[in-house]
Amino acid sequence: MTRGHPRPPARLVAEADDSLWPRLAPASRSEAGRRLARLCRSAGKLIADHELIGEGDRVLCALSGGKDSLTLLEVLLRLRAKAPVRFELASLVVQPGFAGFDAAAVADFAASRGVRSYLVTADILTTMNHLSWRSAPCALCSRLRRGVLYRVCSELGYNRLALGHHGDDAIETALLNMLFCGHLRAMAPRLEPSKPAPTVIRPMLRCFEADVAAYARARGLRPVDTACPLCDVSMDSERKAIKHWLLELTADHPRARQSLLASLGNVDPESLMDQRLTRR
């Protein structure tokens, strides 16, 4: 947050209870169980390929209340139950100062599944009102929120911070950067900080939003409204254009998303024009 603003510590909402998830997990033969297994296969392979989680890691899952983060928590719970390595799992909810956002309900979602749950209050809205946010409010809010997540994750002693971004997020980010910023950049499954801070992991980057949404429906997950007061202006026109274009593209070419996502992990540096890659 900005200098001079208080930085309250996280509050423990509930302790871990490993007996709850086995009773609440979807049955393997149910629609939700099959969809969760599919998501876990994609996430598990990504975790193994990029060494996102190892023996003894302490993973803090950031929960926003949306379908993506709620699904991520259940993916991690299922993977932890079957993983060959042991790791600790907890959750963190940030109350950003949006009136109407029920942060306690999001924290209770994790607690009901036996996950240790934390909640931290950070007046992000006040900070945004002191800064120039109108051109890109979502980007600014995201940066401020990540700063809180990094700080609290470190303070609590967790070495992995799990975020709920999926493959469509990576594709849209890559296209936005190329088309509007002149930058070939997307999202990494694993982000090592440049200063002492937790390693950021995105276990669902090989999962598509449609599959996440289908699981959330089958599971009956009820996302919590962010109550963002800037929601009418928060979706920038460029991202809207990318989403619309992708819908049109995949209507005619159903596997276009798979190819776009695969391309982010199949890069030929020598074919690009960045001299930092080709200079010998």
Within a domain: 280: no
Q: Which residues contact 200 (CB under 8 A, 6 or more apart)?
A: 161, 163, 190, 191, 193
Question: Where residue 87 sits, what CATH number does that domain have?
Answer: 3.40.50.620
Run means of pLDDT, 10 residues per run, the chain, 280 residues: 65 97 96 98 98 97 97 98 95 88 95 97 75 65 85 95 98 94 94 86 98 98 83 65 94 96 94 82
Q: How far apart are CA 173 and CA 94, in angstroms?
A: 23
In a domain, 122, yes or no: yes
What pLDDT sits at residue 142? 79
- Residue 52 inside a domain? The answer is yes
- Residue 29 lies inside a defined structural domain of this protein: yes
Q: Which helix (H) or strand (E) holds 190?
A: strand 190-191
Give domain status of residue 221, yes or no. Answer: yes
Round to whole Å and give the CA distance between 107 and 119.
7
pLDDT in tens, 9-37: 899 999 999 999 999 999 999 999 999 99
What confidence score (pLDDT) does residue 2 get?
43
In a domain, 278, yes or no: no
What pLDDT was estimated at residue 123?
A: 77
Does the residue 271 lie in any domain?
no
Range of the domain at 174: 11-265
The number of folded domains in the chain is 1
* Calculated CA dihedral for residues 125, 129, 134, 136, nearest 10 degrees: -40
Residues 6+ apart with CB under 8 A from 245: none
Asked if residue 274 belongs to a domain, the reply is no
Whole-number pLDDT of residue 230: 67
